[in-house]
Structures are given as C-alpha cells and as structure tokens.
C-alpha cells in the first residue's frame, strides 16, 4: 500500500487509527472488497465515537453504532446527509461483517466514496488550524475488477426478464449463451487479478491488524480526554461548540449524491442503481417492475433517472450535487419530460400535452431546510396542468402513492369538492360550512397553510372531521394527520375521539 496514493491523506492530521482504517480499506479493495466494507464501517464507528466524545456523549465500547448515532442525534441536530452517510457505512458494512458471500466491489466502492466525503466533513469541522484552506480533491476511484462481470450479469438478468415469444426464443437463447461465455471469461480474469493483488496484501495484513489494535487504544484514550475537556467547559461554551457542528453540511459530488439518492429510492420501493441499472448498460422497463433507470435518453440529453411503473414512464428525476440549487432544476426535468425518447422499449400514449411523462422531480440529496429552501429537499411538479406549482417533499413517493396520485389531477379533485354537498349526519352550521369552504379556497390558490379561529363550544372538532372527510373523499389529499389535544377533553370525550382517529385515519403527514 502506497500512502501517497490515498484519498484519505488529510486524516493524517487526526488520530492515526482513522487514516490507517481508511488506507487499509483502499489497499484491499481489489483482492478483498469484504474487508474494505468492514474497515469503512469501522471508520464510521470511530468517527462517531470521537465526535461523541467532543460533545459530551458517552461512547463506551459496549455502545452499538446504531445506538450511538441515535444518542448523538439527541444532542446534535446534524445535517441529515451527515446522518445518512453514517448509516450508509453501517448498512453497507453489516452484511460484510456477518456474511462474506454478500460482499461486492460495487458496495465497497460506494462505502469508500461515502466514507471519503464523511471524513472530509469531519476534518473540516474538527481539524482546527490544519483544516483552514482545505480543498477536498475529487475521489480517485480504484480500478474495479468486477465491473465487467457486473455488466454481463446485468445483461443476462435483463435478457431473462424480457417477455419471451416463440419468434425470438431461439435468438434470446443464442444471446444468453454468448453472454454467459463472456461472463465466465470475465470472472476468470477477475479471479486472476484478485489473486495477484492478494499475494501482496496478505504479506502486510497481519502487521496492519496488530498496529490497528495499538492505534485504537491510543484513540480511545484521546476520546476520554476530549470528553473530559468538553464536560469541563461552561454551559455557554458547550452550546457554542454544538451549534458550530450543527451548522455544518456535508458536501457531496454528483456521483456521491447519486449513491444516497439510490438508497432513498430503494427505501421508497423502486429498483435503483445509477451505476448498473442504466440505459447504456441495457436496462429497460419491465412489466410488473418499478424501476428507476438512470441516464435515459431524451432529445436534450440523458435524464438522470426516469421512473417506470411496468412499461409506463411516470416521472423524470433531475439529480444534482449537494451544493446545487435544486428549485430551478425542475426546469431541466421539464425539458427531459418533453423530449423523452421511446427507444423501442415502450409506446408513449399520453394526455399531457407537450409532456411525455406526468411528473417531474429535482433533488440534490439534501433534506429540506426552510432556511435553505431552494438548495434542499425533493422538489416536485405535476406537469399535467400548467397551473400547478412546484412544491417541496420530505421524501420520495412510493410506486403505490404515484399510482394513487395519478388517478386524478388536483384540479379534478377541487372540481369535485365544489360539487360535493354538505348533507352529512353531522348537521353542520352555516359558519362551519363557511370555514370549510374558506380552507378549500386557500388550497385552490396554492397556499400551504390555513388557520381557522373558533371559540370554545362552536364545534371545532366537528368542523375538522367534515373537512378531512371531504378532502379524502375527493382524493385531493391521500393521507391527513389529524391531531387532538387530549388534555382539553374529559375522559369520555377522549375515548370517542381516539376511537374515531384510530379507525378512520392513519397518523401520517398530509400530502
């Protein structure tokens, strides 16, 4: 291992354990990606421990990483991308720790990239004078010996998933034989490369493990001193230190941002892998599959992602690096939505005017912050009607949510509200009807908030129930959170309201 070629040289200004874990992870990437995943997971653990000690959070040896991150979250309101990076290293490393067969060069490379960005953030926050003027160099990717194998595996999977007909069965069988032969050759080449590198790596592996144990003991001792120093500060000084860390953000390249966006889409129920599940590598929409296919061609350049539900394209996603203004990037997503190319994979039959997909998104992977409104969040625009306005979301829509959303436009739902009568068993009074109509009017105007002020005993809860019922029945919103202040009611009333709330509505956010 040549330290001068490390992406993590800047960590030399900190505890030696950190830089050695990172450099070990880099050195064993080719011969043993499983070890890379384990070492990057350990790097995340050590970074969390030393950060905890500097803000007065206990990080003893018996504290699990997931628990430590939770405890840190109680003390530090960290940028969500920082927390996501810690959890990404933990999740990527977990399977490698417990099941060696599940490791892969792809996941190891992801861990290196995320760990690199997280380490740079740590250096900037805690490097003191040594971090002044620090400029992070782009991550230099190591050569991936599995890249060719993965491409061929993906090609085989795509071939097997496509609908087979009698006419093309023979052609597909011949294609499959050819790809399987190429895959076998690529696997042999990969094995030879890994074996060659492992001979060098195994010579120094034992020595490294022994040194890592020494460095870990030294860092544990240093963390005890950090903890003592912080707890000895005045309360105001402690608060200032915490605020300084909380204000910091994680700066990701576009490639690193894509890693986090992939994970977010996967959690929302989409198949996503912007490195492998991309148009140029043969990825195509498939019946009964919800896929986020990367780099789909349009007449104004490739779209970062196109979301397909089966063979139907439902959304275009524009993904930018974390420092970018995403509010304005909806415009780029709209251009892609107009110029989406069919490429023989599906037939576009739309009723969206000049647009070929109904929905557009733009994101840089950062969670929404009101004070950085246009530089954060997932911005969304329904292009089916030019009166629709872009709005920010706190998470990705699932395929089922999009399916439900597309049943009708907001304009159709609002027209249904206008036609809906108030002939309910609730027997609303005129002022309650007027209050509901006023809220519905503000929704039509694109307003995000409305306040109804009503005196005690005038039927606030009855008004709210009727309003929620109308908004759900018209499908203007799919889910509504209705909160009741239990302390304001006597026990019998509490029971009745809780039963209604539990049986009728799910306590989730309004969309």
pLDDT in tens, 240-295: 888 888 777 777 777 888 888 888 899 899 999 888 888 888 888 888 889 999 99
User: Binning pLDDT at 50, 70 and 90, where does residue 103 land?
Assistant: low
Task: Kindly tell me if the per-residue pLDDT of 493 is higher than 70.
Answer: no
What six digits make up the tokens of 162? Answer: 């496509």
Q: What is the pLDDT of residue 43?
A: 94
Q: How far apart are CA 210 and CA 419, in angstroms?
A: 76
Residue 455 burial by Cβ neighbours in a 10 Å radius (0-12, 13-18, 19+): exposed
| Listed ranges 79-83, 177-181, 323-327, 486-490; the one with the highest mean pLDDT | 79-83
pLDDT of residue 164: 52
pLDDT band at 200 (very low <50, low <70, confident <90, very high): low
Tens digits of per-residue pLDDT, 412-428?
778 888 888 888 777 88
pLDDT value at 18 more than 90:
yes
Per-residue pLDDT of 171-198, as tens digits, reads: 666 677 777 777 777 767 777 666 666 6
Mean pLDDT value across the chain: 79
pLDDT tens sequence across 58-72: 877 677 888 888 888
d(CA 338, CA 433): 42
pLDDT of residue 303: 92
pLDDT given for residue 424 in this prediction: 76
How many Å apart are CA 112 and CA 88, to the nearest integer?
Answer: 11
Q: What pLDDT is stored for residue 492 in this prediction?
A: 42
209: Cα separation from own chain's centroid: 34
Q: How far apart are CA 422 and CA 401, in angstroms?
A: 28
Tokens of 187: 């696997």
CA-CA-CA-CA dihedral for 347, 265, 251, 40, to nearest 10? -130
Confidence at residue 258, expressed as pLDDT on a 0 to 100 scale = 86
Closest C-alpha to 138, from 304, 23, 255, 22: 255
* Distance from C-alpha of 180 to C-alpha of 204, rounded to nearest angstrom: 36
Local structure of 381: helix, strand or coil: strand
What's residue 168's pLDDT? Answer: 63
CA–CA distance, 31 with 281 (Å, rounded to integer): 25
pLDDT band of residue 408 (cuts 50, 70, 90) is: low
Q: Which residue has the tokens 């492992």?
A: 198
- pLDDT tens per residue across span 1-13: 444 578 998 998 8
Cα gap 428→296, rounded to integer Å: 53
Alpha carbons within 13 A on the beta-carbon side of 257? 23
Local confidence band at 505 (pLDDT 50, 70, 90 cut-offs) = very low
DSSP string, 18-57: HHHHHHHHHHTTTT-HHHHHHHHHHHHHHHHHHHHHHTT-
Instruction: Tell me, yes or no, if the pTM score tops 0.85.
Output: no
Positive or negative, the CA dihedral 306, 387, 392, 420 is negative
The percentage of the chain sitting over the pLDDT mark of 70, rounded to a whole number, equals 79
Q: How confident is the model at residue 497 (pLDDT cuts 50, 70, 90)?
A: very low
């Amino acid at each position: 291992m040549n330290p001068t070629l490390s992406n993590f040289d800047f960590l030399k200004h900190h505890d030696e354990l950190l830089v050695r874990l990172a450099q070990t992870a880099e050195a064993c990437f080719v011969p043993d990606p499983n070890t890379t995943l384990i070492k990057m997971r350990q790097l995340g653990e050590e970074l969390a421990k030393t950060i905890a000690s500097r803000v007065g959070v206990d990080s003893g040896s018996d504290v699990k990483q997931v628990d430590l991150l939770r405890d840190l979250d109680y003390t530090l309101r960290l940028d969500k991308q920082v927390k996501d990076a810690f959890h990404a290293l933990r999740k990527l490393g977990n399977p490698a720790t417990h099941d060696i067969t599940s490791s892969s060069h792809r996941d190891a490379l992801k861990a290196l990239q995320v760990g690199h960005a997280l380490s740079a953030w740590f250096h900037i926050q805690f490097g003191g004078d040594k971090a002044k003027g620090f400029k992070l160099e782009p991550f230099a990717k190591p050569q991936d010996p599995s890249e060719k194998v993965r491409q061929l595996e993906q090609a085989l999977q795509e071939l097997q998933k496509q609908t087979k007909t009698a006419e093309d069965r023979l052609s597909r069988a011949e294609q499959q034989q050819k790809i399987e032969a190429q895959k076998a050759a690529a696997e042999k080449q990969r094995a030879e490369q890994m074996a060659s590198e492992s001979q060098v790596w195994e010579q120094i592996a034992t020595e490294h493990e022994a040194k890592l144990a020494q460095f870990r003991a030294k860092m544990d001792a240093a963390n005890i001193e950090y903890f003592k120093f912080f707890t000895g500060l005045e309360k105001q000084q402690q608060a200032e230190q915490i605020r300084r860390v909380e204000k910091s953000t994680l700066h990701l390249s576009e490639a690193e941002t894509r890693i986090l966006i992939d994970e977010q889409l996967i959690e929302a129920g989409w198949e996503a892998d912007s490195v492998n599940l991309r148009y140029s590598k043969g990825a195509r929409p498939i019946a009964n599959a919800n896929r986020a296919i990367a780099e789909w061609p349009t007449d104004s350049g490739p779209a970062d992602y196109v979301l397909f539900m089966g063979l139907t394209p439902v959304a275009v996603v524009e993904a930018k690096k974390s420092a970018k203004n995403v509010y304005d990037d909806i415009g780029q997503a709209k251009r892609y939505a107009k110029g989406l190319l069919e490429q023989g994979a599906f037939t576009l039959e739309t009723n969206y005017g000049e647009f070929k997909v109904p929905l557009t998104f733009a994101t840089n992977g950062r969670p929404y912050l009101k004070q950085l409104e246009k530089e954060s969040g997932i911005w969304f625009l329904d292009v089916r009607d030019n009166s629709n306005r872009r709005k920010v979301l706190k998470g990705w829509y699932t395929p089922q949510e999009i399916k439900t959303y597309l049943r009708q436009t907001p304009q159709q739902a609002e027209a249904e509200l206008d036609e809906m009568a108030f002939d309910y068993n609730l027997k609303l009074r005129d002022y309650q009807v007027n209050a509901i109509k006023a809220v519905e009017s503000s929704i039509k105007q694109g307003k995000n908030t409305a306040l109804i002020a009503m005196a005690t005993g005038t039927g606030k809860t009855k008004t709210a129930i009727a309003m929620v019922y109308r908004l759900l029945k018209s499908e203007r919103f799919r889910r509504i959170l209705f909160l009741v202040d239990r302390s304001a009611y006597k026990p019998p009333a509490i029971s009745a309201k809780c039963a209604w709330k539990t049986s009728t509505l799910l306590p989730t956010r309004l969309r």
